[in-house]
Amino acid sequence: MTDPDYEALRTAFTASVSHELRTPLARLQALLESAELPGADLQGLLGRAREEVVEMTELVDDVLFLSELEQGREVVSLGDTEAAPVLRDLVAELSERAELGGLSLELRIEDEEIHVPLRRRMLRLVAENLLENSLRYAGEGAACIVTLAREGDAVVLDVSDDGAGVPDDDVPRLFERFFRSDRARTTRGTGLGLAIVKHVVESAGGSVEARGGQGRGLDIRCAFPV
């Protein structure tokens, strides 16, 4: 990438971060102003204010992490991890949240001996971001399935759901930084989770693909070379 290209990308990224921070900051300011009104529900307002602070913290953390990835400070492919235990632990941790949200969560493992070319932390990061995406946007009543299998010369980690899906035109853009479809804009999230997934998977020599559409759920497939 040439210097002008890099500067243009950096400028656009900085502008996007600033824009994304404005919304929770504006909500936080409104909450604080409401707390000054007579008869205000201080405990309720404080609880909502904490949520805004958490959202801003998550955004900053994701921005810094993505920056570190792009600068090579995280060697994502330096490692080899047996995937089944990591996925099993993660699904167990998120099962209660899925149940509370009215979603079913299922793990399908073809072979307990499957390894992926990622450090344990990076594998968990990828799987967690994919699952968070499904749990946040699939909608009540949806079924989410996590599949680990071999396909030819590749190991595939697939997270699919039969939920609300996204407009067909949005599917190719899901891995863009800060991109959120109309449904996603009504829920909390940094808009960087899938961008981080794409960067980690491709840095490990793999590929990532999203399939689905409006009313047809969403299927995100990560393929790693054996």
**List of residues 6+ apart from 144 with CB closer than 8 A:** 98, 103, 104, 105, 106, 131, 134, 135, 138, 159, 160, 161, 163
Range of the domain at 46: 3-70
Residue 129: name the closest of 53, 192, 218, 178 by CA: 192
Answer yes or no: do 203 and 165 share one domain.
yes
Note the pTM of the prediction, 2 decimals: 0.70
- Among candidate residues 70, 97, 129, the one where a domain is terminated: 70
107 within a domain of the structure (yes/no): yes
Answer yes or no: do 132 and 200 share one domain.
yes
Answer yes or no: do 109 and 211 share one domain.
yes
Answer yes or no: do 131 and 41 share one domain.
no
218 within a domain of the structure (yes/no): yes
76 within a domain of the structure (yes/no): no
Answer yes or no: do 105 and 179 share one domain.
yes
pLDDT value, residue 166:
86
75 within a domain of the structure (yes/no): no
Answer yes or no: do 91 and 195 share one domain.
yes
Token pair 């089944």 in the structure block, residue: 84
- Among candidate residues 70, 92, 124, the one where a domain is terminated: 70
Structural domain count of the chain: 2
Residue spans of beta strands (DSSP E) within 110-214 = 115-116, 143-151, 154-161, 207-212
pLDDT in tens, the chain (226 residues): 455 555 655 555 565 566 667 777 888 889 989 998 998 899 999 998 888 888 787 777 767 776 766 666 555 656 789 999 999 999 999 999 999 989 999 999 999 999 999 888 889 889 999 999 999 889 899 999 999 999 999 999 999 999 988 888 888 888 887 676 554 444 555 567 898 899 889 888 999 999 988 888 999 999 999 8
pLDDT value, residue 208:
95
Phi, psi of 224 (to 5 degrees): -115, 145
Answer yes or no: do 86 and 167 share one domain.
yes
122 within a domain of the structure (yes/no): yes
pLDDT value, residue 29:
87
Answer yes or no: do 57 and 107 share one domain.
no
pLDDT value, residue 131:
94
100 within a domain of the structure (yes/no): yes
